[in-house]
Each structure stands twice: as structure tokens, then as C-alpha cells.
Structure 1
């Protein structure tokens, strides 16, 4: 009996050593978006290989707000770079892509730009699959940010059968950050333009696989500000007045206000789902209740209840509560601040000597960013799958309020803590 126990003990010890070595090996190979051991079920990647390429578009005759003077708005051709992920044929080499990024920002703080690289799980310039149609998803980063800010999510969604396009918003990236009013004006306009550009592609293999009738839009922070407007939440007249004060009298943003009859005609019926991570603006009077009534597209909000950029009770939650004409969800990370959407901090941001903001551009003080990434993958998969593909993910989305005393569907035991998922249906007429 003692011998048997000893043998079992040796076996258990050997198993533990193997598991630890395996975990250590996997940890060394971790890439943004990989599942942690407690990742919820829908966080895992789908069946498709992921191709990726870079494209550029020019939005002609746009208001050159940076050179607006005395209420006169000159025009210019606005160049936009995007990254496109799409279901692809696999290539012989490993599924590895190198993303080129920078830390720092050329904005008010003028922190020096520091180049760095990180690996993703995709094939650069792979051929797209030859059959099938896939919903289009357009992603808008924060201010400042870049098209690579949420690769954990863009790659993950693509592997599940979406064509995903992330925008570099000119004047709003790490490399070219400029006056904030450019972001205020151009964010929603850029998103609309890229939707049109991708759905009107000519002589491009991707045009054969994009399902233009089923479109989702995802935005983080100022990206959230943009996607809500594209989804139908017209800005307030108060924003027009504030914008005019910032720009010396320009009224260019009035085109995007709820009171403008032309704005009401901008709604795109092909957009079936909106995901808004920490959308900015409610505390600053960007919306009023009348404007929020225009949001009729199903919307999934994500927030930290300690958000000190967009605000929570009078910010993101107020938008959620006021959007009475749509079916909407609010996922809240308890004790989280604003960074509920980005990739984890790059390794370079952990090095001594760098400004703390390079780390806190990505990191949450009370959460493991990789955990947040996995949870986001899970719920965004469920939400987009429901509204863009007609799949039944109701068991993952219909979680009773105050349900932290039980494990959520799809979550491993004891892992669904520190979060709340609320759901409000469209108000009945």
C-alpha cells in the first residue's frame, strides 16, 4: 500500500512538472488573443485560417478642419490606411505575421516615438478563401491609437468567418496625433467612408467574399463615439457650439447632429450590430436623450465602472440607459478604468525608463488584460454571431442580473467573477 502511494506520488509529481514545463513553454509563445486556461468557451479561435493585408483609401473633398479659419472650411483629400483580416487559404509557412507599431505620441505631450514589433497569428497577403460570403466588421481605435490596437479581437473574429477592417484614423494615431477637433469631426465620417469603400471594391479578390448586407461596427473610446453616431445616435446641438468654439467658428460637425434632417438620411440599413467599448462623450454633452433615441441598431456596450476618461454612471451607463429604441447589453468590469478594449501592454512598455503612459495606454490596474481580451472575444462572438449570422447564442447573452453567485454559461467554474452583464430590450411603443 505504501509502495503504491509512493508510485502515485512520483507519478503526480512528474505530471505536475510536465504541466508546468508545458505551461511555461506556451507562455513563452503567447501572442495577443491566445486563450488563458480559464478563457470562456467562445474565446477560442474558429476554423478559418487568417489572411491579412494593408490597404489605402482616399476620401476626396473633405473639410480640412486643421486649416479652418474664421468659420471658413477649406477642403482636402483625406488619406486613410486600413488593415484587413479575412478568411484565407493557409500558406506553407507558419501562421505568423509581424505587426510594426510605435509607442509614444505626436500630440500635446510630444512623447518620443519608439518603434516595436509584435507577432500575430495570421498570414500576410495570403489568398482569400474561394467560396463563401462573410459579414463585414469595421473597427475604430481610440485617441490616440492605431489599426493594430485590438489585434486580439480582429484576428479572432476573422477566424470565425468575418472580414474585419481596422482603420488608422488620420490625425488620431500614435504617429500623427493632432488637434482633438479633427477626431471629433472625422471619426464617424471615416467609418462611413471605409464601409462604402470596402463594399464597393472592384477588381479585388475580397469583393467576392464580403457580405455587404450584414455589417458590424466596433469602436473603442473615440471609436465608440464614432460608431454610435454611425449607428444612429446623432450628436447634440451643444457639441456643435463647443466645436465652433474650438475651431474658430466652424460648423462642419453640424452635419452629424440629431437635429439635422440630412443626418437622419445617413442611416445604413446594412449595419446590423454595434459594439461600443468605453464610448467617450456623454459626460461632455455630446449626446442628449433625444439624440440617443436615434440609436436603433442592437448594441453591445463594454465599460469599466471606474472609467476616468469616459465616465461610468453619467457616461457609458447613461448612454446605455438612454438608448431606449434599441436592444442593448452592458458588460461591466468591476474596478476597471478605461482600457477595457486594447491588446496587453507590449513587452517594451515594461522596460525601465519608459514613460508610465506607454504602459497605461494598454494596461488595467486591477485586471489581467489577457483575461479581459478573452472575455471580450467570448461576448463579441456571441453578439455578432447573433445579429450578423443568425446563430443562437442566447444562453451566453441572457445572463440574469446579479448572477455572480453562479457560474456563467461558457465560463469555467469560479471564473465569472468581477463582472456584470445587463440587458435592456427596446422600449415598446
Structure 2
């Protein structure tokens, strides 16, 4: 959440992987018994690898006195991928900044096995971008789950300054680097996929999707084609000056082979600076799924994420709203190490919604959306097209009485959202608008 609330990891707080055998039910990627249908894990075991990309000669607005320093940009990556055989699981080690700016370490159990042999096949490539001062590990719930369904998921660690440093100078780093990093990582991952290199060998570069939370959402919408506002040049010490709308390198800020975009709680503006120049997200052509809480006071709802949904008129787009939820909808539930202090726990937990419930519902809809638009599985359209907008209005008259755990078949038998159990589709809205 960006307090100016977009979550992200601290400089020097590189997350670690270690082999372990955590109980599978403790891993955030594994949904509970009350999760909607498509949240379930897929048929593949999951592997995880660590790789570092280095982009030489990059301007860093966080370094340098009179002008940004030119440095080699190091980006550690977590890569989740379909594995050939099941392993013993993983215990991720990560950290987020505490209220005094120092790292608070925590662990996250995972279903993935480090450096497991990859499954045979060609799988869509997903770039997964975290928020301000977060780490890839807090998005493991989604990265591991998608890998089990046949995706190669690449999650960079952007190494933002601590969220506690609330200055325009500190914000310049993530604002400048997020879209640049996402485009670079996507291009390099695609290059290695085509060359059959390492954990990218099974990825299909021509079927790429972008997923971003909070500041990562700003990054993926920019990388999908939304032109940067000229005001971001000054806000980033001119690092973005060549890439703003009309700039000489503006055309470079776009990911090739893009089939779909998921933007979870993306900001339209940061510290009063608009993210995009006209036509803004209207320039995006890739199908887009927006996810937001109606009480997200960090990025706003309406105006806010709902405005982006309305404005993206040239792409098929969807809007999943969790009524009364806030900004922390993109992270795992608070690890035990982060539950003793209010600041630490507030990174992760929503004031109204159960976190496991949020993750399960998001996974369900993201799965349906990606399989529909990235894998071309038309059967998944029934899970996202033609739903009654208000989940509370859905009816399944033929459902067995009692605590029935079966999933709604959707129309024509039921208007209860397809894939949801009776009494488990409430407090949400889901809307669709076709490309004009």
C-alpha cells in the first residue's frame, strides 16, 4: 500500500529463498475451501528460481548531486514456473520497512521448489510488478498460483527507498524506474525465452501479460501504452524526460507481444503529479482487468481506479470492486513476524475483508481473464462476461439447501456469479465494457 501508499522493498533488502517443507495449506498460493472455483491450484507442480538482470548505464534519480548518476541497474528476479515434478516447497525470506525505516524481516511459506526441473511445454510469460517498498515475495500468492496453471511468472525486486522517507526526491526513484524496469525486464525475458535460456526457456514471448499492484500498476499501464505526462520529467530529475508524451524515446516504453494487463489499485496521480498525458489509458489496446477497493484512500476509487476503467475506451476492460476494502488488497496476509506492531500489520491486512478471501477472489478472476485473453480459452468467458454487476443480486434457485459447497453454473441456470459457492458472492461488483 502506498502510505503515500504503494508497497515495496527496501534498498539492500534482497529477499532470499531457502529449501524447506512448510505445510502446503500455509502457503498463500493455496486457497481455502471457500474459495471460488478458479482460485484452485492448477495441475503443475511449481519451481522457483532466482536470477539477476543488469541494465548498464541507467540514470538513477536517487543518486548524484547536480544531475542523476549513471549506474548499472541491478534487478533481482523471482521466477515461478511450471515444474516437471513436485518438490519440498520453499520458505521465502523477505523484509518490509518498519515505522522507523529499518527492515522488519519475515518469512513466507511457498509451494514452489527452488530450481526444480521445468515442465515440458510453452507457457505464457507474465511480468509481475510489486508496489512501493514491497518485494516479490508478498505477491507469491499470485505468482505461485499462476505458475501451477501453466505460466512463467517473472517478478522483479525494484529495491525502492523506504516508504517512511516521504519526500519528492525519494518518490522520484520508483516513479522514474518502474515503467523503465518493467519494459526492460519484459524485453530481456522475451529475448532469453526465444534463445531457450535458463528458467525462461519454456516461456512464450509472443504471449505476454503484465500484472502490477499499486506503483506496479502505474508501471504496467505505462508499459501497455499510456503516454507519460510531461510533468513527470521534473518529478524524476529529468530521468523520464526522453520518454514523456512526444519525447524522442516515448515509443520505447511499450512491451511487445502484449495480450493482457491486470492493474491492481493503480494510481492516476502521485503527490499531485498526473501519471499520464492525454489520451492517457485511452491509448491502451490490450484487454485490461482493474481491481480495487471502494475505500482505497491511497489511489482513490471515483475519481481514481474507476476513472481509469471508464477512460480506457479502446480496449475490452473489466472492473472488480471489493466494497469497503482499502489499498492493501495486493499483498499476502500478515506473516507472524509482522503482527505485533500496528505499522507492520497494516502493510498487509484490510480493515474489513479477510485477506485469504481477497486473494482467492482475485486469483479466480485473474485466472479467468488470463486464460480467456492470453491462452484463448473461450470457455473462461462465462466467468467474466455477462455477470450481474452487483454480486449481491445473483440468484441460484436450484442450489441444494444447507451449506452446499458446489459452484454456481452461471447462466442460464443461475445469475449467481459462475464459479462461486452459495452465500459466498457478496460485497463486490464486477463490470465489463467492450472496446469502442
Normalised-by-shorter TM-score class: 0.7 to 0.9
Q: 1:282 touches 1:318 (CA, 8 Å); kept in 2? A: no
Q: Deviations over 1:92-141 (max 9, x none)?
A: x53x1010112435xxx533323222211111111112x21000001110
Match for residue 268 of structure 1?
Answer: 255
The correspondence of residues 339-350 of structure 1 with structure 2, limited to 5 A, is 339-350=328-339
* 1:77 is aligned to 2:72: yes
Match for residue 402 of structure 2?
Answer: none
* 1:41 is aligned to 2:41: no
TM-score (norm 2): 0.83
Deviates more, 1:407-416 or 1:199-208: 199-208
Q: Deviations over 1:14-65 (max 9, x none)?
A: xxxxxxxxxxxx9994321222222100000001010001111111111121
Hey, what's the Cα distance between the residues in 1 that align with 2:77 and 2:162? Answer: 12
Hey, what's the Cα distance between the residues in 2 that align with 1:184 and 1:166? Answer: 18
Deviates more, 1:58-67 or 1:219-228: 58-67
> Alignment length, in residue pairs?
386
Match for residue 427 of structure 2?
Answer: 418
Shift of 1:265: 5.0
Hey, what's the Cα distance between the residues in 1 that align with 2:248 and 2:366? Answer: 32
Q: CA RMSD in A?
A: 2.3
Q: 1:145 touches 1:172 (CA, 8 Å); kept in 2? A: no
Hey, what's the Cα distance between the residues in 1 that align with 2:238 and 2:314? Answer: 28
1:410 alignment partner, SS class: coil
Q: Deviations over 1:56-103 (max 9, x none)?
A: 111111112123444x34311010101001111225x53x10101124
Match for residue 351 of structure 2?
Answer: 365
Q: Deviations over 1:142-173 (max 9, x none)?
A: 11100111111100000000000111003357
Q: 1:170 touches 1:176 (CA, 8 Å); kept in 2? A: no
Shift of 1:389: 0.5
TM-score (norm 1): 0.85
Q: Deviations over 1:339-371 (max 9, x none)?
A: 1111111112223xx2x1211111100000000
Q: 1:102 touches 1:174 (CA, 8 Å); kept in 2? A: no
Match for residue 297 of structure 2?
Answer: 308
Residue in structure 1 matching 2:206, options 206, 213, 229 = 213
The correspondence of residues 278-289 of structure 1 with structure 2, limited to 5 A, is 278-282=265-269, 284=272, 285-289=274-278
Higher percent of residues as helix: 1
Deviates more, 1:153-162 or 1:231-240: 231-240
Q: Which runs of 4+ in 1 moved over 6 A?
A: 173-178
* 1:125 is aligned to 2:118: no
Match for residue 14 of structure 1?
Answer: none
* 1:404 is aligned to 2:392: yes
Q: Deviations over 1:173-228 (max 9, x none)?
A: 78999811010100011111111221222573434311010000110000001000
1:150 alignment partner, SS class: helix
Gapped regions of structure 1 (runs ≥ 5): 1-25
Structure number with bigger Rg: 1
1:372 alignment partner, SS class: helix
* 1:138 is aligned to 2:134: no
Residues 323 and 315 from structure 1, CA distance in 2 versus in 1: closer, same or farther, beyond 3 angstroms?
A: same
The correspondence of residues 84-103 of structure 1 with structure 2, limited to 5 A, is 84-91=79-86, 93-94=87-88, 96-103=89-96
Residues 334 and 27 from structure 1, CA distance in 2 versus in 1: closer, same or farther, beyond 3 angstroms?
A: farther
* 1:171 is aligned to 2:160: yes
Q: 2:388 touches 2:417 (CA, 8 Å); kept in 1? A: no
Hey, what's the Cα distance between the residues in 1 that align with 2:30 and 2:201? Answer: 29
1:280 alignment partner, SS class: coil
Q: 1:229 touches 1:256 (CA, 8 Å); kept in 2? A: no
Hey, what's the Cα distance between the residues in 1 that align with 2:392 and 2:50? Answer: 42
Q: 2:243 touches 2:253 (CA, 8 Å); kept in 1? A: no
Shift of 1:414: 1.1
Residues 256 and 357 from structure 1, CA distance in 2 versus in 1: closer, same or farther, beyond 3 angstroms?
A: farther
Shift of 1:261: 5.5
Match for residue 408 of structure 2?
Answer: none
Hey, what's the Cα distance between the residues in 1 that align with 2:165 and 2:79? Answer: 21
Shift of 1:316: 0.8
Hey, what's the Cα distance between the residues in 2 that align with 1:384 and 1:28? Answer: 25
* 1:239 is aligned to 2:229: no
Shift of 1:270: 0.2
Residue in structure 1 matching 2:46, options 31, 44, 50 = 50
Deviates more, 1:370-379 or 1:170-179: 170-179
1:149 alignment partner, SS class: helix
Residue in structure 2 matching 1:333, options 322, 325, 344 = 322
